[in-house]
C-alpha cells in the first residue's frame, strides 16, 4: 500500500529540505533494510518490503514536524539508526515513512559518568569521547563502531561489557530516555531509571527516542587474548571459571567450538586446526595472571595484544557476538543462527543438542552477568553469571529449524528467536504489558512500526497475509 501521497511528500520536503527526502529506488531499498538476511525465514518474509520514502531530519524540530505530518496523513513511521539490526526491526512491513535518525548525532554532555546524547550518535563516537574523559560504555554491541545509541536501545540487548555490567535492561545502565509521541501534536515524555525499561527493545513501536542518558563505567585499559585447546571440556571449564572470577575485570568472555575459529580469516595465523578458542578482554594489569592461570590448566595463549586507546583496530570484538555469524555466513552461506540463553546445566544442554542434531549446531558461547530477576522473572535480584550465545546452525529447511527451536524450548534453553520480526519472540519481555500500555499512550493511531508488536491489539494496516 502506498502511504506517501504527493501532499505528504511535499510537506516532508518543506520540513526537511528536498535533498533529505529519498524516493529513488536504490537508496530507498538500502534504507529500508537491515541484516535480517541472516535468517532464511526473514528473507522470505521481508525481501519485498520497503518504505515509500525515507526522511533524514537534522534536528528535533524537523523530526517533530515530520511525525506530525505522518500522524495527520495516517502513514506508518519507522525509525532507523544505522540499520544493523538483525531481526528486520527497521524494515517497514506496510510501507510508509522511514525516519533516518543518524543526523541527530550530538553528544550533549559527558559529565559525572553520564553521557547525554542524541539518538543518532554512533556508539563508537560515544566510546571514544568517554574514554578521553576517563570513562567507557558499560555495554555495547559488536557493531559498536557503526551502530547508533537509539538503535541499540530500541533494537539491541547487550554485548561487549555485559560480562560486568549486564545488558541495556540491567538496573542503572540507562538513566533516562526522552521519547517523542506519534500524534498530530507530538509530545516529549521523559522516563527515568526503572521506568525506562518499558521503552527499551521495542523496535521503535513505543515512541521515537530523541535523547538518552547512559551511565558509564570507569575506563579500563584492556588486553585482547585468545586461548585455544583441543579439549573442549577443559577449555569450557577454564573459560567458565574465568567468567565467574569477579576479581578479574573483563569486558568479553567468548568461546567457540571448532571449526568456528576457522571462519575468522584475518586471525588464521594465530589459530590452530582442530582447536576450540576462547576470546577474552581483560584489564591489562591482570592479563599476565590470566595467561599464567590458563597455562597452569594446560591451555595455550595464542594471541595477546593491547586494545588501543583511543580505539583503533585490531578489535577482537569484530569476531564475537553476532559478528561471528557474519564470518560464518561469509564462509558458507548455508549457516544461520540461534540466540540462546542456557541454564545452569548448560553442559547437559550442549550434549543433548549434539545428540539430537549431530553436526548441525556449532557452539558459540557468550558469558554475561544478569540478575535472576531479569533472567528468570523471579523476585530475587542476586547477580549471576549466565552462559548464553549465538550458536550457528547449518540450515536445512524451515521445518528442521522449527524442530531445533522446539527442542531448545523442551530442554530449557531460552531462545530470543532471530527468525521472526515480532518483538515478543525476539527477546525477554517480562514487562510486555507495560510496553503495550506505553504504545497505547504514545501512538494512538498505531503508526509506529506497525506489525512488529504482535500482542498489540490494533494494526490499522493489517491485511491477511501482510505479515507472517
Ligand atoms: P537499527 O537497526 O537502525 O534499529 C534497530 C531498531 O531500533 C529498529 O526497530 C528501529 O526502528 C529502532 N530505532 C532506531 N533508532 C530509534 C530511535 N531513535 N527511536 C526509536 N526506535 C529506534 N546487537 C546486540 O545487542 N549485541 C550485539 O553484540 C550485536 N552484534 C551484532 C553484530 C552484527 C554483525 C550485526 C549485523 C548485528 C548485531 N547486533 C547486536 C544487532 C545490532 O547491530 C545492534 O542492536 C545495534 O545496536 C543496532 O543499532 P542500529 O543503529 O543499527 O539500529
Ligand 1 centre to CA of 191 (Å) is 21
Ligand 1 centre to CA of 100 (Å) is 13
Assess whether the C-beta atom of 418 lies below 6 angstroms from ligand 1. Answer: no
Ligand 1 atom closest to the Cα of residue 168 is 25
Q: Distance (Å, rounded) from C-alpha 350 to C-alpha 163?
A: 21
The label of the residue with cell 546452525 reads 393
What is the pLDDT, as a whole number, of residue 412?
Answer: 97
Ligand 1 centre to CA of 359 (Å) is 31
What is the pLDDT, as a whole number, of residue 3?
Answer: 79
**Best CATH choice for the domain 107-219 from the list 3.30.465.10, 3.30.70.260, 3.40.50.970, 3.30.2130.30:** 3.30.465.10
- For residue 190, the tally of other CB atoms under 10 A from its CB is 13
What is the pLDDT, as a whole number, of residue 466?
Answer: 46
Q: Distance (Å, rounded) from C-alpha 467 to C-alpha 124?
A: 34
**pLDDT value at 127 more than 80:** yes
**pLDDT value at 101 more than 90:** yes
Q: Tell me how far CA of residue 282 lies from CA of 164, 222, 290, in angstroms.
A: 11, 5, 8
Assess whether the C-beta atom of 315 lies below 6 angstroms from ligand 1. Answer: no
What is the pLDDT, as a whole number, of residue 166?
Answer: 96
What is the pLDDT, as a whole number, of residue 1?
Answer: 64
Question: b/e per residue, 424-457, with b = 16+ CB within 10 A?
Answer: bbbbbbebbeebbebbeebbebbbbbbbbbeebe
**pLDDT value at 206 more than 80:** yes
Ligand 1 centre to CA of 452 (Å) is 15
What is the pLDDT, as a whole number, of residue 468?
Answer: 45
Assess whether the C-beta atom of 144 lies below 6 angstroms from ligand 1. Answer: no
Ligand 1 centre to CA of 421 (Å) is 13
pLDDT tens per residue across span 142-168:
999 999 999 999 999 999 999 999 999
What is the pLDDT, as a whole number, of residue 373?
Answer: 54
Cell of 80: 532507523
Q: Distance (Å, rounded) from C-alpha 450 to C-alpha 76?
A: 7
Q: What is the mean pLDDT of the chain?
A: 95
Ligand 1 centre to CA of 461 (Å) is 24
| Distance of alpha carbon 26 from the chain centroid | 26
**pLDDT value at 74 more than 80:** yes
What is the pLDDT, as a whole number, of residue 370?
Answer: 84
Assess whether the C-beta atom of 181 lies below 6 angstroms from ligand 1. Answer: no
Task: Tell me the mean pLDDT in the region 107-131.
Answer: 98
What is the pLDDT, as a whole number, of residue 467?
Answer: 45
Assess whether the C-beta atom of 446 lies below 6 angstroms from ligand 1. Answer: no
What is the pLDDT, as a whole number, of residue 61?
Answer: 98
**pLDDT value at 457 more than 50:** yes
Q: Distance (Å, rounded) from C-alpha 255 to C-alpha 268?
A: 16
Ligand 1 centre to CA of 102 (Å) is 12
What is the pLDDT, as a whole number, of residue 454?
Answer: 94
Ligand 1 centre to CA of 32 (Å) is 14
Assess whether the C-beta atom of 327 lies below 6 angstroms from ligand 1. Answer: no
Assess whether the C-beta atom of 395 lies below 6 angstroms from ligand 1. Answer: no
**pLDDT value at 329 more than 80:** yes
Assess whether the C-beta atom of 254 lies below 6 angstroms from ligand 1. Answer: no
Assess whether the C-beta atom of 87 lies below 6 angstroms from ligand 1. Answer: no
Ligand 1 atom closest to the Cα of residue 144 is 47
**pLDDT value at 178 more than 70:** yes
Kindly report the protein residue whose alpha carbon is nearest to atom 14 of ligand 1.
Answer: 151
Q: Are 232 and 260 in contact (CB under 8 A)?
A: no
Count how many residues are written for the chain.
468
Cell of 118: 542524541
Domain residue extents for the chain? 6-102, 107-219, 222-415
What is the pLDDT, as a whole number, of residue 334?
Answer: 97
Rounded to 5°, angle at Cα 140 from 27 and 197: 95
pLDDT tens per residue across span 349-384:
999 999 999 999 999 999 999 865 555 555 555 569
**pLDDT value at 464 more than 70:** no
What is the pLDDT, as a whole number, of residue 2?
Answer: 73
Assess whether the C-beta atom of 326 lies below 6 angstroms from ligand 1. Answer: yes
Q: Distance (Å, rounded) from C-alpha 294 to C-alpha 299?
A: 5
**Best CATH choice for the domain 6-102 from the list 3.30.43.10, 3.40.1010.20, 3.40.50.300, 3.20.20.70:** 3.30.43.10
Q: Are 71 and 445 in contact (CB under 8 A)?
A: yes
Assess whether the C-beta atom of 155 lies below 6 angstroms from ligand 1. Answer: yes
Q: What is the DSSP letter of 270?
A: G
Q: What is the band of 427 on the pLDDT scale with cuts at 50, 70, 90? A: confident
**CATH topology for the 222-415 domain:** Vanillyl-alcohol Oxidase; Chain A, domain 3 (3.40.462)
Whole-model pTM above 0.85? yes
What is the pLDDT, as a whole number, of residue 4?
Answer: 83
Kindly report the protein residue whose alpha carbon is nearest to atom 32 of ligand 1.
Answer: 322
Percentage above 70 pLDDT, the chain:
96
Assess whether the C-beta atom of 85 lies below 6 angstroms from ligand 1. Answer: yes
Ligand 1 centre to CA of 444 (Å) is 25
Assess whether the C-beta atom of 154 lies below 6 angstroms from ligand 1. Answer: yes
Task: Tell me the mean pLDDT in the region 83-91.
Answer: 97
Ligand 1 atom closest to the Cα of residue 78 is 11
Amino acid at each position: 500500500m502506498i502511504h506517501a501521497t504527493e501532499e505528504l511528500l511535499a510537506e516532508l520536503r518543506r520540513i526537511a529540505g528536498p535533498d533529505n527526502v529519498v524516493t529513488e529506488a536504490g537508496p530507498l531499498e538500502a534504507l529500508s533494510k537491515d541484516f535480517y538476511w541472516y535468517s532464511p525465514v526473514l528473507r522470505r518474509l521481508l525481501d519485498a518490503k520497503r518504505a515509500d520514502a525515507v526522511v533524514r531530519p537534522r534536528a528535533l524540530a524537523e523530526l517533530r514536524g515530520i511525525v506530525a505530518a505522518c500522524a495527520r496523513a495516517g502513514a506508518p513511521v519507522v525509525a532507523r539508526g544505522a540499520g544493523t539490526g538483525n531481526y528486520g526491526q527497521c524494515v517497514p512491513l506496510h510501507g510508509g515513512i522511514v525516519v533516518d535518525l543518524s543526523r541527530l548525532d550530538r553528544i550533549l554532555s559527558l559529565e559525572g559518568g553520564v553521557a547525554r546524547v542524541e539518538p543518532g550518535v554512533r556508539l563508537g563516537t560515544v566510546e571514544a569521547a568517554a574514554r578521553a574523559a576517563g570513562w567507557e560504555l558499560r555495554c555495547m554491541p559488536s557493531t559498536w563502531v557503526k551502530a547508533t545509541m537509539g538503535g541499540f536501545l530500541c533494537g539491541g540487548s547487550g554485548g561487549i561489557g555485559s560480562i560486568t555490567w549486564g545488558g541495556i535492561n540491567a538496573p542503572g545502565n540507562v538513566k533516562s530516555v526522552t521519547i517523542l509521541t506519534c500524534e498530530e501534536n507530538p509530545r516529549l515524555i521523559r522516563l527515568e531509571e526503572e521506568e525506562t525499561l518499558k521503552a527499551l527493545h521495542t523496535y521503535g513501536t513505543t515512541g521515537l527516542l530523541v535523547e538518552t542518558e547512559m551511565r558509564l563505567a570507569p575506563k579500563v585499559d584492556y588486553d585482547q587474548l585468545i586461548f585455544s585447546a583441543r579439549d573442549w571440556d577443559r577449555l569450557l571449564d577454564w573459560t567458565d571459571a574465568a567468567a565467574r572470577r569477579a576479581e578479574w575485570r573483563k569486558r568479553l568472555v567468548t568461546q567457540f567450538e571448532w571449526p568456528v575459529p576457522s571462519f575468522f580469516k584475518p586471525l588464521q595465523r594465530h589459530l590452530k586446526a582442530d582447536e576450540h578458542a576462547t576470546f577474552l578482554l581483560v584489564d591489562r594489569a591482570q592479563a599476565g595472571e590470566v595467561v599464567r592461570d590458563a597455562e597452569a590448566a594446560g591451555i595455550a595463549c595464542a594471541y595477546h595484544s593491547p586494545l588501543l586507546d583511543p580505539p583503533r583496530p585490531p578489535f577482537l570484538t569484530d569476531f564475537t557476538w553476532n559478528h561471528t555469524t557474519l564470518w560464518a555466513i561469509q564462509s558458507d552461506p548455508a549457516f544461520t543462527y540461534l540466540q540462546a540463553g542456557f541454564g545452569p546445566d548448560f553442559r547437559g544442554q550442549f550434549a543433548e543438542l549434539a545428540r539430537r542434531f549431530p553436526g548441525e549446531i556449532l557452539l558459540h558461547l557468550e558469558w554475561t552477568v544478569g540478575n535472576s530477576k531479569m533472567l528468570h522473572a523471579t523476585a530475587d535480584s542476586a547477580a549471576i553469571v549466565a552462559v548464553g550465545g549465538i550458536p550457528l546452525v547449518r540450515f536445512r529447511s524451515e521445518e528442521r529449524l522449527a524442530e531445533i527451536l522446539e527442542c531448545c524450548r523442551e530442554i530449557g534453553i531460552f531462545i530470543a528467536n532471530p527468525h521472526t520480526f515480532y518483538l515478543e519472540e525476539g527477546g525477554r519481555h517480562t514487562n510486555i504489558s507495560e510496553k503495550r500500555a506505553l504504545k497505547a499512550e504514545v501512538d494512538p493511531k498505531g503508526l509506529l512500526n506497525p506489525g512488529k508488536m504482535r500482542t498489540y491489539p490494533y494494526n490499522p494496516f493489517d491485511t491477511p497475509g501482510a505479515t507472517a
